[in-house]
């Protein structure tokens, strides 16, 4: 829920000011929210009070996001395929038919 809420909110914000959504340009945005959400759930398993959980979650998420922006951190990008998935499937079929 944390990741969906933060990503959706940022998309709406960026669209309202006619910018390309940050979540499409910077992939660590949603990851920081996901880690913060996991922190909230994990602290709940240890019966930590809600106020403390919220404080820790906000601190961790904001710090991760600030570090990512400061140091240009991004998740690894997937390599491009040499051809489209349908072309690759067709090539496999052709090889199997030989």
Per-residue pLDDT tens, the chain, 98 aa: give them. Answer: 777 777 788 788 888 888 877 776 666 778 888 899 999 999 999 999 999 999 999 999 999 989 988 998 877 766 777 778 888 888 888 898 87
The continuous run of DSSP H or E covering 92 comes out as helix 85-97
pLDDT value of position 43: 96
Q: Which of helix, strand or coil describes residue 36?
A: helix
Q: Categorise residue 77: left if φ over 0, alpha if ψ from -120 to 50, beta otherwise.
A: beta
pLDDT value of position 78: 64
pLDDT value of position 47: 93
């Amino acid at each position: 829920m944390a990741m969906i809420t933060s990503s959706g909110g940022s998309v709406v914000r960026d669209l309202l000011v006619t910018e390309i959504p940050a979540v499409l340009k910077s992939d660590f945005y949603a990851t920081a929210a996901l880690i913060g959400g996991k922190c909230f759930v994990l602290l709940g398993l240890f019966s930590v009070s809600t106020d403390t959980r919220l404080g820790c979650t906000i601190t961790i998420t904001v710090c991760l996001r600030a570090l990512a922006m400061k140091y240009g951190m991004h998740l690894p990008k997937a390599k491009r395929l040499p051809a489209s998935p349908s072309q690759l499937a067709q090539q496999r079929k052709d090889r199997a038919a030989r």
